């Protein structure tokens, strides 16, 4: 049983909310609020917006430049060109999580998502991560599905308790994991190794890519192993949440009962 995971459960948040107005968003950023994303009106330039940009330096918060019409659809009140969506979860930092897992005497077990933009897939993967004792789900700050109320609902609440680390880039997260002794195993159609032949018993991170593009080539180069799932029919790929489930349960079988490799 993953005892460290049990210790890291966070107080559940049930719904996503938003705040608007440049000063209000600045204060939220400086206060360390968990923010899912910030929408800023295109061409917004002022002394107050400059203060916002300064506050955002070094933060792992996605920022989108959008037309004013999009902001007006969020709220008809005086948003001043800035709207921030509060996250329904509390993000954790991978650099803090890794040593804590080792210190607890546990074997690190992570899942990294590369380009997963469907909240239902993200939620379904999180639910399976919870069931298989994964220490944390790792996502990049951009080009990923929003962890919003829909994702939490799809996860059956798993995202309220499963630690999630939002990193600046997936490459940075992968390099940190490699330097921490964690083996990176990517699911890829380019993989020459059958997924049942890999060793998942040690410190590992499974890297799952989007169904249409897969794991990015630059990320595949960082992986220690590429594994593939047999496809015997006419369809060339599995739904990513299904593929993740297959690898996660093969992993937990080995981690619970020992590796069964040829």
Nearest of 114, 148, 107 to residue 252 by alpha carbon: 107
Q: Note whether 18-86 and 90-257 share their fold.
A: no
pLDDT tens-digit readout, 36-75: 899 999 999 888 899 999 999 888 888 999 999 999 999 9
- pLDDT computed for residue 56 by the predictor: 92
pLDDT tens-digit readout, 208-218: 998 788 899 99
Alpha carbons 16 and 1: distance in angstroms, whole number: 31
Name the DSSP letter for residue 155. Answer: T
- pLDDT computed for residue 2 by the predictor: 55
Looking at the domain that runs over 18-86, which CATH code has it been given? Answer: 3.30.1330.30
Strand, helix or coil for residue 31: coil
pLDDT: which is higher, 230 or 223: 223
- pLDDT computed for residue 155 by the predictor: 94
pLDDT tens-digit readout, 109-143: 999 999 999 999 999 999 999 999 999 999 998 88
The average pLDDT across 138-149 equals 89
Tokens of 150: 């829909």
Q: Does pLDDT of 182 surpass 70?
A: yes
Domain-wise residue ranges, the chain: 18-86, 90-257
Q: Does pLDDT of 262 surpass 80?
A: no
Which CATH architecture best describes the domain 90-257? 3-Layer(aba) Sandwich (3.40)
pTM of the model: 0.83
Alpha carbons 1 and 78: distance in angstroms, whole number: 50
Alpha carbons 55 and 40: distance in angstroms, whole number: 14
Tokens of 24: 């209000």
């Amino acid at each position: 049983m993953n005892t460290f995971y049990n210790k890291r459960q966070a107080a559940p948040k049930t719904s996503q909310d938003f705040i608007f107005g440049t000063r209000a968003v600045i204060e939220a950023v400086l206060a360390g609020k968990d923010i899912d994303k910030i929408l800023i009106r295109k061409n917004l330039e002022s002394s107050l917006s400059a203060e916002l940009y300064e506050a955002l330096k070094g933060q792992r918060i996605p920022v989108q430049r959008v037309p004013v019409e999009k902001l007006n659809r969020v709220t008809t009140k005086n948003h001043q060109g800035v709207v921030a969506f509060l996250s329904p979860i509390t993000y954790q930092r991978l650099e803090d999580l890794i040593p804590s897992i080792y210190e607890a005497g546990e074997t690190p077990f992570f899942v990294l998502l590369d380009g997963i933009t469907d909240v239902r897939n993200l939620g379904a993967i999180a639910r399976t991560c919870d069931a298989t004792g994964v220490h944390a789900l790792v996502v990049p700050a951009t080009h990923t599905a929003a962890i919003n109320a829909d994702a939490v609902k799809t996860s059956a609440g798993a995202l309220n308790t499963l630690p999630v680390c939002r990193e600046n880039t997936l490459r940075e997260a992968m390099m940190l994991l490699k330097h921490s002794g964690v083996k990176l195993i990517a699911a890829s159609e380019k993989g020459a190794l059958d997924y049942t032949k890999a060793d998942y018993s040690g410190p590992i991170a499974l890297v799952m890519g989007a169904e249409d593009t897969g794991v990015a080539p630059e990320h595949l180069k960082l992986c220690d192993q590429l594994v593939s799932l047999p496809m015997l029919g006419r369809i060339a790929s599995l739904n990513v949440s299904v593929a993740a489930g297959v690898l996660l349960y093969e992993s937990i079988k080995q981690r619970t009962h020992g590796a069964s490799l040829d």
